Amino acid sequence: MNFLEVMLGEKLRNQDSALEIRGSDRKVLQVACQDFTNFLKFHWDLIGRESNECDLVEKLEKLYKENSTELDEFLNIWVGIWLKKWKQRVKLMIGSQNSCRWNRASQNMHDVNPIWKKIDSKKEMQEIVVATLIKNGEICGTEILSENLLKIAISEKKLKSKEDKEGLFAAVNATLRKARDMAQSRGPLIFVKIDKGYYSSKR
């Protein structure tokens, strides 16, 4: 675990003592780290820069060394807001609950995966969508939502090749509109399918 994961893990446990960050709830920490990283990239104007990962680490380490108290206070506030969003946006689907909807969505994602893997600019496309989500107040699941929205748009535009630049441009524009609307919506956006044995194993 890097120092950001350690700090976020501690804040998450402080806010919700039931979370097993090092065990069954590790995915919560992973998504929180992803979201916090995207949040900082957006607010430090690092979106779209090739060296944004290195720049982000440098700026974060500098802030930690020079003003750890300010960073600690900010993390407390951010994690509180993020956890509320997590509880609002993530819905656990147990066993075969909503299986038809789940299977249809999974099939659509599976069908578009071959072309998605070949797109050279997918990282840049995702960053644009992530920035739109954050700009409109959505800070939870930004990486997951941006990828899924883009895949849905590519599927709807029926793109057959990564060389279809016009189709990709149209897909990104459609995704940005959906991202803005989605950020203003309420209720769950991320559906996580889990086995029925999940809860009994946690008792």
Percent of the chain scored above 90 by pLDDT? 53
Percent of the chain scored above 70 by pLDDT? 85
Q: What is the mean pLDDT of residues 22-28?
A: 86
Q: What is the mean pLDDT of residues 36-58?
A: 89
Q: What count of other Cβ atoms lies within 10 Å of the Cβ of residue 157? A: 16
Which sequence spans correspond to the domains of the chain? 3-89, 93-194
| pLDDT for 65 beyond 50 | yes
Could you tell me if 35 and 86 are in contact, meaning their C-beta atoms sit under 8 angstroms apart? no
User: How big is the chain, counted in residues?
Assistant: 203
Structure tokens at 186: 């309420």
Whole-angstrom distance, CA of residue 176 vs CA of residue 127: 11
Structure tokens at 133: 């989500």
Residue 155 half-sphere exposure toward CB, CA atoms < 13 A? 17
Banded model confidence at residue 80, pLDDT cuts 50, 70, 90: very high
Whole-angstrom distance, CA of residue 202 vs CA of residue 189: 25
Banded model confidence at residue 93, pLDDT cuts 50, 70, 90: low
pLDDT of residue 198: 38
Banded model confidence at residue 104, pLDDT cuts 50, 70, 90: low
pLDDT of residue 178: 94
pTM of the model: 0.85
Whole-angstrom distance, CA of residue 6 vs CA of residue 12: 10
| pLDDT for 73 beyond 90 | yes
| Out of 8-22, 113-127, 159-173, 180-194, least confident range | 180-194
Amino acid, single-letter form, for residue 120: D
